[in-house]
Amino acid sequence: MDPVPSNITKSYPRRGPLQQFRFADGTAFRCFRCGDTKKSKLITLYAGDWARKLCNGCYGLLLSLYEIKAGAAAEDVRAEQLAEELLSLVSANQLRQAERIYRASEKRAEVLAAHSLRFVATAEHVAAQLDSDPQLEWSPAVIGLCKAVEAEVVSRILVPLAVLTASEDLSEDKKDKDIGRIAAYCIDSGRKPPELGTFAHFLQTVVHSQERRETSRLIRCFLSLIGDWVGSVWILDPQGFHRALATLTTSYRNRAAHIEELSRQDYIDCREHTFGNKGLVWQLVIATEKTSDCLRV
């Protein structure tokens, strides 16, 4: 533990793992997060550790993340806010470089949707800047992987579903609390796409509700859509796609959207689950191949 640099004249209320102190004299220190050297009378500590001093810029970033995670908004909303914070951590040039690096290291990246590549490349870039200490920044990095999966779901499933249902009357499906948000997107695909949790709930309904399969035009179209995909069995298997999405949301996304601090290991585990050799994304890519595409190979 480092000694207190000088006399404390004021202690500010603790905000999550962060607390600011004002000292009688200006003190030089190195920010443990960004590595810059600073001199200030106002110093922030992380987790009460004097070896973990923060500059004002890093304090503002971590505070904004903490306030999102401590908020009362739903998980989907907090995930969106954390995703925005993730993208704000890198410049446009850094993002382009991160995408080039990811494309070079992962040849499979060529099959990813543009938004998916953007999120996973940014998550990888941000994660590379972090050390092994558990910090709030790991939450946006994990959220980035989740958003990359969400982008693939939208590109590979929801956009084709919206095209297929263009001539269908989905007014009754739109009223259904379990599938209504998916129906609303299909009616107006120009609106913001549904979040990952919304699609997971829709898929759960498709898998388990025999009545909906018989009465819902939206679900009938969904089943027709996947009928020409080689992985339709995996998509409809309760232990397949839905289980993989449930693990992603409960073990990673929802935890990242709450107060709990995620570690480097959490990020590694989430990356393995989503973009590892047998990750969720690559299973989805294979599952959504059309039978005709496979015959041409």
This prediction has a pTM of 0.75
Instruction: Say if residue 58 is in the same domain as residue 151.
Output: no
Instruction: Say if residue 41 is in the same domain as residue 96.
Output: no
Which two tokens mark 142? 């994990």
pLDDT at 144: 92
Instruction: Say if residue 158 is in the same domain as residue 218.
Output: yes
Give the number of domains in the chain: 2
Find the mean pLDDT for residues 188-211: 92
Q: Which stretches within 106-228 are classed as H helix?
A: 114-128, 138-153, 159-164, 171-175, 180-187, 196-208, 210-215, 217-226
Task: Write down which residue in 70, 100, 117 finishes a domain.
Answer: 70
Instruction: Say if residue 60 is in the same domain as residue 90.
Output: no
Which two tokens mark 124? 């990888």
Task: Write down which residue in 48, 70, 92 finishes a domain.
Answer: 70
Instruction: Say if residue 124 is in the same domain as residue 232.
Output: yes
% of residues, the chain, pLDDT over 70: 91
Look at residue 101 and tell me whether its pLDDT is greater than 90.
no
% of residues, the chain, pLDDT over 90: 39
pLDDT at 133: 56
First to last CA, the chain: 62
- Reported as a single tens digit per residue, the pLDDT across 135-155 is 557 888 899 999 999 999 999
Q: How does residue 296 score in pLDDT terms, banded at 50, 70 and 90?
A: very low
Look at residue 297 and tell me whether its pLDDT is greater than 50.
no
- Reported as a single tens digit per residue, the pLDDT across 113-138 is 988 988 888 888 888 777 655 555 78
Find the mean pLDDT for residues 38-50: 84
Instruction: Say if residue 33 is in the same domain as residue 129.
Output: no
Instruction: Say if residue 145 is in the same domain as residue 38.
Output: no
Task: Write down which residue in 24, 46, 70 finishes a domain.
Answer: 70
Contact 288, 229 (CB under 8 A): yes
Alpha-carbon distance of 154 to 196, in angstroms, equals 9
The amino acid at residue 201 is: H
Instruction: Say if residue 56 is in the same domain as residue 146.
Output: no
Residue 138 lies in a domain: yes
Find the mean pLDDT for residues 213-229: 93
Residue 3 lies in a domain: no
Q: How does residue 295 score in pLDDT terms, banded at 50, 70 and 90?
A: very low
Instruction: Say if residue 118 is in the same domain as residue 246.
Output: yes
Number of neighbours of residue 295 by Cβ within 10 angstroms: 7
Contact 142, 262 (CB under 8 A): yes
All residues at 6 or more sequence positions from 45 whose CB lies less than 8 Å from its CB, including other chains: 18, 19, 20, 21, 52, 53, 54
pLDDT at 172: 95
C-alpha 247, offset from chain centre: 13
Instruction: Say if residue 108 is in the same domain as residue 84.
Output: yes
> Which of 4-8, 40-44, 142-146 reaches the highest mean pLDDT?
142-146
Residue 1 lies in a domain: no
Look at residue 3 and tell me whether its pLDDT is greater than 60.
no
Residue 37: phi and psi, rounded to 5, are -90, 140
Residue 2 lies in a domain: no
- Reported as a single tens digit per residue, the pLDDT across 252-270 is 999 988 867 788 899 999 9
pLDDT at 157: 96
The amino acid at residue 22 is: R
Instruction: Say if residue 65 is in the same domain as residue 80.
Output: no
- Provide the domain limits for residue 173: 75-296
Instruction: Say if residue 132 is in the same domain as residue 202.
Output: yes
Alpha-carbon distance of 289 to 297, in angstroms, equals 11
Alpha-carbon distance of 118 to 92, in angstroms, equals 11
Look at residue 249 and tell me whether its pLDDT is greater than 90.
yes
Residue 11: phi and psi, rounded to 5, are -110, 125
Q: How does residue 291 score in pLDDT terms, banded at 50, 70 and 90?
A: low
